Amino acid sequence: MATRDLAAQARALLDLHRPGDPGVFPTVWDAWSANLAVAGGFAALTVGSHPVADSIGRADNEGMTFDELLTRVRQISDAVEVPLSVDIESGYGETPERLIEGLLEVGAVGLNIEDTVHSEGGRLREATEHAELVGALRAAADAADVPVVINARTDLFLKQVGDEADRVDRAIERLRLCADAGARSLYPVGFHSDDVQRRLAAELPLPVNAIGNPADGSRAHLAGLGVGRISFGPLWQMAIAGRATELLADWH
């Protein structure tokens, strides 16, 4: 990890965000899964908070600390040389400067930041409040001279906030503010109809991150909808767990 050119890796990660030809960044949780993904030919990885939390016996939604997450990210960055983007949930109550400093120290060059504040009862940040956090993260990255790839996430769909009739409009408005604040990709997390996914990709000003299911989805399908980046959330780990359960069923 010490030999990494973090600025170059951040640029390489951003270059893989291609609307209509998306980079696929398997979501890993330890050195073993990271090595497996790199051996499969993937050029960048995401580190998912949910699967990492599961792997160390913690709950999702900030049941682990930022330092516990960084410990695992360092193990991953020591094991593989590809760019890493880390899901930092809503920020673990840390300052933007501490978040950027911690990620760079362990070799990560990208992050997801969501607008659900787990430490405050799961409230959703106001649109301008979330954009301000994105802007503060961008300023901290700029101060460190690393163009960290900020993937701004909204949980409007996941939490089904407000009226469904205008939810897409509100998500687009919210994420546009994040784009103006310095995000480099946008993540309206959830499983969307093709029409909604196509509209999000067309109307948002930056590459859109979609969640893919490696067990039954396809890159080609999401590419056809204009997606610019694909990650797996906890679904790859869940698929492996399901297969493991099948393998072990006759042995107890």
| The two structure tokens encoding residue 250 | 């006759």
CA torsion sign for 142, 146, 147, 150 is negative
Q: Is-contact 225 207, C-beta < 8 A?
A: no
117 φ, ψ (degrees, to nearest 5): -100, 95
pTM of the model: 0.96
d(CA 147, CA 8): 9
Domain boundaries, the chain: 6-251
CATH class of this structure's domain 6-251:
alpha beta
For 132-157, what is each residue's pLDDT tens digit? 999 999 999 999 999 999 999 999 99
For 69-96, what is each residue's pLDDT tens digit? 999 999 999 999 999 999 999 999 999 9
